Amino acid sequence: PLVKIDEKVQIVFEQMIRLLLHCGLPKEDLDMLWSKGPVCMEVLKQADCRMTLFTGSQPVAELLTKELRGKVKLEDAGFDWKVLGPDVHDIDYVAWQCDQDAYAYSGQKCSAQSILFVHENWKKAGIVEKISKKANARNLEEMTLGPIITWTNERIKSHIDALLAIPGAEVVCGGKPLEGHTIPSCYGAFEATAVFVPLAEMMKPENYEMVTTELFGPFQVITEYDDSSLDKVLEACERMESHLTAAIVSQDINFQQKVLGNTVNGTTYAGVRARTTGAPQNHWFGPAGDPRSAGIHTPEAIKLVWSTHREIIYDCGRPDASWTAPKAT
C-alpha cells in the first residue's frame, strides 16, 4: 500500500509510521509519498491502482473519481447536522456537547457540527446563550483554539460576511480574528464563531449552497424551527451533498424515528447524549447515500474498502470411463 497525507501535516503521519516500524511493522509493507496533490494523482494513474481510499474535501473526491475511473472509496467532507428535538433535557450537558462537536480541535474534523437546528423549546430554555458562553471562553493560551490549517482569516471573514448579507442573519458569538499571537498568516486564527440564519432564508435556492458550505475551522451555523417546520429541517438535511455524521438530541422515540427515517447519514447518534463527533473505535464511521462511501473502525469497514468478493469453483471429478458426449444444446 501507498499512503499520502496532506503535506502541511504529513510530518505527523511520518512519526506515526516510525512508531509502527519501532513496534515491528516490516519496512516493505508500506510506502509513504511526500508530494503535492497533482504528483500523487500522476502516481496513482500510472500505477493503475486497484483501489484508493480518500479522506478529504469533496472537490478532490470528485476529481479522483473521474481520473481513477471510479476505483475509489470516499470518506470525504461532511457538513454535519445536529437537530435538537422538542423535548428539553440536561441543557448544560447538551450545551457542552454542542461546543465540543463544533469547536474542539478548532473544528478541524470531518465530523464537526456544521449546523445546529434548534427547536423553539430549546431556544426559550437558553441553549444558544449557553453554547455562546462556552465558545467565548475558548482561547490559544489553554489550547482550546489553535491554528486553522486550510482556511485563512481572509477566507473565513469573507464567508461570514456573505452569510451576514442574508436577511435576518446575525453573529451569535465570535466573528473576529484572534489577536496577540505568532501564527503565520498562511494559516487561520479565528474566534469560535456561530452565525444565526433564519430557516426560511436558508432554504432559498440563492442561499442554500452558501449556508451549507463546510468551513473547516471553528465555525457553525445555527437556525431555529418549530413543530410546523420540522419537514423543512428534514428537507434541508436531505439536500446536503455530504451525509457523514448527524445527531438527533431527543428522548422522544417518535421524533427520533421520524428524523432517522427521513435522513441517510452514515453515522447517526440519537438520544440526549447524541453527538456528531468523538466516535469510539468500536463502531462504523463513514458517510452513506453514495455507492463510493467508505467506512473506518470496524472489520466490516475494512472488508468493504480493501477487499472484494471473489468466487473460485473447484470441479475436479474426472468423467466416468464410459462417458460419451451428449447431443449438443
Using alpha carbons, list the distances in angstroms from residue 186 to 2, 158, 199, 227, 268.
Answer: 29, 16, 34, 44, 34
Q: How confident is the model at residue 305 (pLDDT cuts 50, 70, 90)?
A: confident
Q: How confident is the model at residue 100 (pLDDT cuts 50, 70, 90)?
A: very high
For residue 157, pLDDT over 90 is answered with yes
Task: Tell me the three cell numbers of residue 305.
Answer: 474498502
Sheet strands (E) in 152-273: 170-173, 193-196, 219-225, 245-249, 267-270
Lowest mean pLDDT among 18-22, 173-177, 306-310, 319-323: 306-310
Q: Is-contact 131 99, C-beta < 8 A?
A: yes
The residues, any chain, with a CB within 8 Å of residue 33's CB and separated by 6 or more, are 2, 3, 4, 39, 40, 43
Q: What is the pLDDT of residues 184-226, one digit of tens each?
A: 999 999 999 999 999 999 999 999 999 999 999 999 999 999 9
- For residue 303, the tally of other CB atoms under 10 A from its CB is 12
Q: What percentage of the chain carries pLDDT values higher than 90?
A: 80
Mean pLDDT of 10-32: 94
Catalytic residues: 75, 110
For residue 75, pLDDT over 90 is answered with no
For residue 29, pLDDT over 90 is answered with yes
Q: What is the pLDDT of residues 311-324, one digit of tens each?
A: 999 999 999 999 99
Q: What is the pLDDT of residues 111-149, one digit of tens each?
A: 999 999 999 999 999 999 999 999 999 999 999 999 999
Q: What is the pLDDT of residues 220-276, one digit of tens each?
A: 999 999 999 999 999 999 999 889 999 999 999 999 999 999 999 999 999 999 999
Q: How confident is the model at residue 281 (pLDDT cuts 50, 70, 90)?
A: low
- For residue 27, the tally of other CB atoms under 10 A from its CB is 9
According to the model, what pLDDT value does residue 57 have? 80
Mean pLDDT of 41-61: 90
Q: Is-contact 121 87, C-beta < 8 A?
A: yes
According to the model, what pLDDT value does residue 279 have? 64
According to the model, what pLDDT value does residue 101 have? 97
Backbone φ and ψ of 59, nearest 5°: -60, -40
Which amino acid type is present at position 69?
A: R
The residues, any chain, with a CB within 8 Å of residue 40's CB and separated by 6 or more, are 4, 33
What whole-number distance in Å separates Cα of residue 257 and Cα of residue 192? 32
According to the model, what pLDDT value does residue 241 have? 84
The residues, any chain, with a CB within 8 Å of residue 237's CB and separated by 6 or more, are 81, 83, 246, 262, 263, 265
